[in-house]
Every structure is written in structure tokens, then in C-alpha cells.
Amino acid sequence: MKILHLLSQIPEATGSGIYLQSILKQASKRDFQNYLLAGVPTNFQKPHKLRNLACSDFSAVCFEQDLPFPVVGMSDVMPYPSTRFCDLSAADLSLYEACFKHKLVAAVERWKPDIIHSHHLWLLTSLTRKLFPDIPLVTSCHGSDLRQFQNCQHLQATVLSGCRDIDAICALTQAQKLEIQTLYGIEPDKIHVMGAGYDSERFSSSTQKHTHNPIQVLFAGKLSRAKGVPWLLRALKRLPADMFSFHLVGDSDGVEKQEILELANKLESGIQIHGKIDQEQLSHLLRQTDLFVLPSLYEGLPLVLLEALACGCRIVTTALPGIIELFAGINSDRIILVDLPKMASIDIPQASEEDYFIGALTSALHKQFELILKSSQDVAISDEIQSLLNDYTWEGVFRKIESLYRQLMVK
């Protein structure tokens, strides 16, 4: 079976990029023929990257070459130079659609896929459905598409014109399935909760971890306000500087990155700013980490939480619907959920709530510090957490996706 995979941004560096890479790898193991069309910057080294992507061939829309602006990201803050959908003019949008249409038609004519698997319930997916109504279309939702749908109301009609006719949608969580139904008006029987996975071979804690002195704290993700980073840094500032060392992993661009780096450099404790790192480097860092923190204000299903747990880290994260669903039934002090502040919009807290949020993060961090310091050697991963991790492997996720492919092929 030949599958054409579609991603309108770089096939790495973000949650959807890691998801795509993992699906390509699993499909290849199952003897599917993978082809990929993605949006990349002009400096993207296609031959080198192709060796790291499990696909037979790769076509690209080259931003700043085929189109006169940087990659348009599904998040407003990306870990590389990017353009926001809300900033595109009508002329820009016409160019964007025309360029992807040209590349997409050429890809289908060349590779003749049996199935198209797109990523994000957004413009490229809608265009694909309208151009190729007879090729089965599966789309994975990642959460950032739902946020764009709410923030870019002028694009909603264009998105809905094709996305309502998708054959099958892969949702990350039950909460996300309900959100898709509500926002897009898509029938529930078309939306399948598939979850997501983590690389269990790469992310693991092979030996019992020893607590470090000072405590090693890590954030990994986009350096953005939506990820809660400024409030995390302000919370850390309230804690004794000699108790911890902080590792800031990730990248972004523009004003938000500058704000975050300025706040980070004000921390009196030891801080290491790692920038963008690959998955192998992240797994190494997580194995040296005592406490992983992800204070996001909006997420689908953040895989990095699974990766951190698998490496033996304790967790502080926000009580978002997908995260609550992920940890439902887990009774462990290894995981502390922090209530969200009241929100002004989908990923912006009310100004009057910011101090509450900082205080809640500070309390959660301090509680985990106390638990970490109770013993010089941390307890092993519990059976219930290991059982959770076993349910979220990429092998298991792809088995469900493969079943969906085969159902669509016989219709």
C-alpha cells in the first residue's frame, strides 16, 4: 500500500513533526511505501533529511523560494523563523494555496497513492480533500490546528469546505474528539481516538535514578508564552536558588523568545540554556533530570510528558483536558497537576490571574523538591505508570492507524 503523507511545515522539531517521523518509521516496518510532501525553508538539506525519514521519496514546498515568506507555522510561535497565518494577506493566502496545489497534484500524479494521510485539520487538508475526493483521506489532529481555527475566524469557511468531508480523523484524546465535533461539526463516527506514542527504545531509565544535588529541573518545548515559560521562570525565581539547577531546552523566534531569555538570565540558580536539541540529546538530558516541568496553557497530548516519565522524572504540569485524561486513574505523587488560571483567550491568561498561576507553580515545584529530597535514591517507576507507558508506544498507535487504513481501502 502506498501512502502520501502531508505536513505543511518542517517534518521535525515540533510535536506533529515527531509524530509524522514515528508514523513513517512504523509504516515502513510494516512494508508500506511512504511518500512525503512537506513545507520546508530554503536551507533544509533534503538529501540528508531524507536519510532520517522513513520514506521512499520526498517533495517539498520551499518557503522563501517557492513562496516569498518563511514557513507558515501551525503555532504562532515556532522553534524556527516562521510566519503566522493571521498575518497572511489575501494575496499571500492565494499564493500559499496555489503553490501547495501545484506540488500536491504533481505528487499524486507521480506516486499514485492508495491513501493520503495529512496532518492538521487546516488549509492543506481542506485543499487535499477538494482536489482528490476519491482517494481515502486520513487526518491526524494535533491541537494547534484547533487553536488556529479559533484564532483565524476569516479562514474557517475555507477550512470547513474540505475538512468536513475527510474520511477519518485521528484524535489524540477523547477531549480533543469532542472539541473537533463542536468546532467543525464533523460526525463523531468519523473521529477515532488514536492517542500518540513515545519512542520506548530511546526514552527509558535503565537503572534506578539517584537524586542530584542540586535538584535538576528541566523544561523542553517551544520558548513561548503558550507553553507557560515566562510564568515558570517567575515561579523558579521565588524558590531558594541553591536548591536547584534549571535546564531550558527549546527554541523559538521573535519577541517571546527574547522575553524568555531575559527572564532566564535573571535566575540566580545555575541555569543552562540548551537551545534546540535532537531526540537523542533530549533522552540523555531527561535521564539526568529529577523534575520535568511543562506549564502549558494549551496542548493536545504532549508526548514529552511520557518521555520524561519513562526516563524516571517527576512531573509538574498543567491540568489541561488532554493531560487530565492521560493521567486519569494514576495515583502517584510523581505527577502534580496545576490548575489553569482563568483565561482571556484560548492560550492567554487574564492579567489578574498571572500572580495566582505563578504562585500555584511555585507551590507545586516546592512540593516536588521536598519529595525528591526525602531520599537520596528515587523510587522506581510504579507498576501503574509503567502500564500507562505501555499503552502509549508508537507500535500500538500505528496498529490502530493501520486498521483504519485497511477499513477505508475496502469501502
pLDDT tens by residue, 268-312 = 778 999 999 989 999 999 999 999 999 999 988 898 999 999 999
- Across the range 44-50, mean pLDDT stands at 63
Q: Report d(CA 9, CA 12) in Å as an integer.
A: 9
Q: How confident is the model at residue 347 (pLDDT cuts 50, 70, 90)?
A: confident
**What percent of the chain clears pLDDT 90, i.e. is strictly above it?**
81
- The answer to the question of residue 204 being in a domain is no
Q: Where are the beta strands (DSSP E) in 295-387?
A: 314-318, 335-338, 343-345, 348-349
Check whether residue 109 and residue 172 sit in a common domain: yes
Specify if 334 maps to a domain.
yes
- Coil, strand or helix: which one is 192? strand
Residue 203 in domain: no
What nine digits make up the cell of 365? 515545584
Given the C-alpha cell 520535568, which residue does it identify? 292
Q: What is the pLDDT of residue 269?
A: 75
Which residues are CB-contacts of 140 (< 8 A; sequence separation ≥ 6)? 16, 19, 23, 117, 118, 119, 120, 169, 170, 194
C-alpha cell at 389: 507507558
CB 365 within 8 A of CB 232: no
Residue with cell 520551499: 62
CA–CA distance, 67 with 54 (Å, rounded to integer): 27
Q: Which of 230, 273, 215, 280 is nearest to 248 (CA)?
A: 273
What integer best gives the mean pLDDT of the chain? 93
Looking at the structure, tell me whether residues 184 and 244 fall in a common domain: no
Contact 271, 246 (CB under 8 A): yes
Interhelix angle for 229-237 vs 354-373, to 10°? 60
Lowest pLDDT segment from 19-23, 52-56, 246-250, 379-383? 379-383
Question: In the predicted model, is pLDDT for residue 208 greater than 60?
Answer: no
Both 29 and 88 in one domain: the answer is yes
Q: Which residues of 108-133 are buried (b: 16+ CB within 10 A; e: fewer)?
A: beebebbbbbbbbbbbbbbbbbeebe
One domain for residues 21 and 79: yes
User: Measuring CA to CA, how many Å separate 282 from each of 220, 260, 321, 367?
Assistant: 8, 20, 26, 25
85 assigned to some structural domain? yes
What's the whole-number mean pLDDT along residues 228-236? 97
* Judgement on whether residues 297 and 186 belong to the same structural domain of the protein: no
Find the mean pLDDT for residues 188-216.
Answer: 85
- In a domain, residue 360? The reply is yes
Tell me 78's DSSP state.
-
Instruction: Identify the residue whose cell numbers are 509524530.
Output: 19
Here the cell at position 227 is 507553553
Beta bridge partners of 59: 37
Q: Is residue 202 part of a domain?
A: no
Do 247 and 107 lie in a common domain?
no
What is the domain range of residue 47? Answer: 2-197+393-409
Q: Name the grid cell of 76.
A: 504562532
pLDDT band at 381 (very low <50, low <70, confident <90, very high): confident
Distance (Å) of CA 35 to CA 4, 83, 120, 140, 374? 5, 26, 17, 16, 51
Within 53-207, where are the H helices? Answer: 90-111, 123-131, 144-151, 156-163, 174-184
More confident residue, 316 or 54: 316
Q: Could you tell me if 60 and 44 are in contact, meaning their C-beta atoms sit under 8 angstroms apart?
A: yes
Which helix (H) or strand (E) segment is 357 a member of? helix 354-373
Q: Do 405 and 333 fall into the same domain?
A: no
Q: What is the pLDDT of residue 406?
A: 96
* pLDDT attached to residue 377: 59
**89 lies in the same domain as 154:** yes
For the cut 70, the answer to whether the pLDDT of residue 187 exceeds it is: yes
In this predicted structure, the answer to whether residue 51 has a pLDDT above a threshold of 80 is no
pLDDT at 159 over 80: yes
* β-sheet bridge partners, residue 117: 5, 138
Quickly count: other Cβ atoms within 10 Å of residue 258's Cβ.
Answer: 12
pLDDT of residue 399: 94
pLDDT class of 15 with cuts at 50, 70, 90:
confident
Lowest mean pLDDT among 211-225, 315-329, 349-363: 211-225
126: confidence class by pLDDT, cuts 50, 70, 90: very high
% of the chain at pLDDT higher than 70: 96
Residue 317 falls inside a structural domain? yes
In a domain, 205, yes or no: no
- Considering the domain architecture, whether residues 7 and 148 belong to the same structural domain is answered as yes
- The answer to whether 142 and 38 have CB atoms below 8 angstroms apart is no
Count of domains observed in the chain: 2
Report whether pLDDT(28) > 70: yes
Position 329 scores a pLDDT of 85
Residue 249 shares a structural domain with residue 372? yes
Q: Give yes or no for residue 376 having a pLDDT over 90.
A: no
Structure confidence at residue 205 (pLDDT): 83
What number of residues does the chain have? Answer: 411
Based on the domain organization, do 190 and 326 belong to the same domain?
no
Mean pLDDT in residue range 24-32: 95
Rounded to a whole number, what is the distance in angstroms from the first to the last CA of the chain?
A: 15
| Residue 376: CB atoms within 10 Å | 9
Confidence of residue 374 (pLDDT cuts 50, 70, 90): confident
Identity (one letter) of the amino acid at 199? D
Same domain for 267 and 169, yes or no, is: no
CATH number of the domain to which 134 belongs: 3.40.50.2000
| Strand pairing class (343-345; 348-349) | antiparallel
| pLDDT band at 44; cut points 50, 70, 90 | confident
